């Protein structure tokens, strides 16, 4: 799945000529912790509550009148609309971020957040399926993959819906299966076929929607302080 299919298409923005006070009011109104700073449709920075607190102590006058351009994060980490969601997930994780502006030819066209990424991977790994989950140990030579496929084909009537994820590397060789049924039939049949089953559990949490509607607007996620930034000299 591509970033353009999941991104927020109307992210919260503020003009690069704004002040720290204007940015604080915008973030408080939207109950968010970030704003994309733009000059026209071109992304020039990102502003967060941490950025707004960077008003120099030596600055004379009201800190709310400081130019946002003086404290915003310039050259923010961004992502392309044609990138895979896996790349978005890695970028958010490695940089410790909650959101990535989506940029094409320097133009801001969207925003992808950790919530959007989590939603995609919940479905990808089958975490939206309530029922039995299990891990199936595989041989490192991958010969078990074909046999596992054949076993699941025999059990297809009991697998509706189900999710199958396989990981084979130097650390593990394992398939993880989630089945929308409280029955142990699948686990019992795979164990009878010679597979070692582990991490067997029953997910009994309350049913949630299978998918969330695409968010056109950035509703925000991190409420800010109750007041505008204080003069650090006080």
Distances in whole angstroms, Cα of residue 36 to Cα of each of 23, 29, 43, 126, 159:
10, 15, 7, 33, 45
Host H or E run for residue 94: helix 85-95
Write down the pTM of the prediction.
0.78
**What are the tens digits of pLDDT across the range 121-136?**
999 999 988 899 999 9
- C-alpha 139: how far from chain center: 32
Average pLDDT over residues 56-85: 89
- Let me know: does 49 contact 225? Beta carbons within 8 Å: yes
Average pLDDT over residues 195-217: 72
Average pLDDT over residues 189-215: 77
Task: Give the separation between CA 35 and CA 48, rounded to whole angstroms.
Answer: 7
Average pLDDT over residues 174-182: 91
DSSP symbols for 95-134: HT-SEEEEEETTEEEEEEEHHHHHHHHHHHTTTT--SEEE
Q: Which of 155, 141, 147, 143 is nearest to 188 (CA)?
A: 155
What integer pLDDT is reported at residue 208 of this predicted model?
57
Domains of the chain: 3-121 (3.10.580.10), 126-202 (3.30.70.3100)
Q: Could you tell me the pLDDT band of residue 233, with boundaries at 50, 70 and 90?
A: very low
pLDDT at 220 over 70: no
Q: Which of 102, 160, 107 is nearest to 129 (CA)?
A: 160
Q: Could you tell me the pLDDT band of residue 10, with boundaries at 50, 70 and 90?
A: very high
Task: Give the separation between CA 117 and CA 73, rounded to whole angstroms.
Answer: 23
Worst-scoring range by mean pLDDT, 43-52, 114-123, 223-232? Answer: 223-232
Task: Give the separation between CA 174 and CA 167, rounded to whole angstroms.
Answer: 6
Worst-scoring range by mean pLDDT, 18-27, 53-62, 106-115? Answer: 53-62
Q: Could you tell me the pLDDT band of residue 63, with boundaries at 50, 70 and 90?
A: confident
């Amino acid at each position: 799945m591509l970033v353009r299919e999941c991104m927020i298409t109307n992210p919260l923005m503020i003009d690069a000529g704004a002040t720290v006070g204007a940015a604080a009011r915008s973030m408080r109104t939207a109950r968010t912790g970030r704003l994309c700073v733009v000059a026209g449709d071109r992304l020039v920075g990102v502003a967060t509550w941490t950025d707004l607190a960077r008003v120099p102590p030596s600055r004379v006058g009201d800190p709310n009148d400081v130019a946002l351009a003086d404290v915003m994060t310039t050259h923010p980490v961004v992502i392309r609309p044609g990138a895979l969601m896996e790349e978005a997930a890695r970028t958010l994780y490695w940089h410790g971020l909650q959101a990535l502006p989506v940029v094409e030819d320097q133009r801001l066209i969207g925003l992808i957040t950790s919530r959007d990424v989590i939603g995609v991977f919940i479905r990808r790994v089958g975490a939206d399926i309530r029922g039995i989950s299990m891990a199936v140990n595989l041989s490192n030579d991958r010969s078990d993959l074909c046999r596992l496929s054949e076993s699941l084909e025999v059990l297809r009537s009991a697998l509706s819906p189900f999710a199958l994820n396989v990981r084979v590397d130097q650390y593990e060789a394992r398939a993880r299966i989630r089945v929308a049924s409280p029955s142990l039939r699948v686990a019992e049949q795979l164990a009878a076929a010679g597979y070692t089953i582990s991490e067997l559990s029953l997910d009994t949490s309350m049913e949630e929607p299978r998918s969330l509607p695409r968010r056109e607007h950035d509703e925000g996620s991190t409420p800010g302080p109750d007041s505008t930034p204080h003069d650090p000299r006080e």
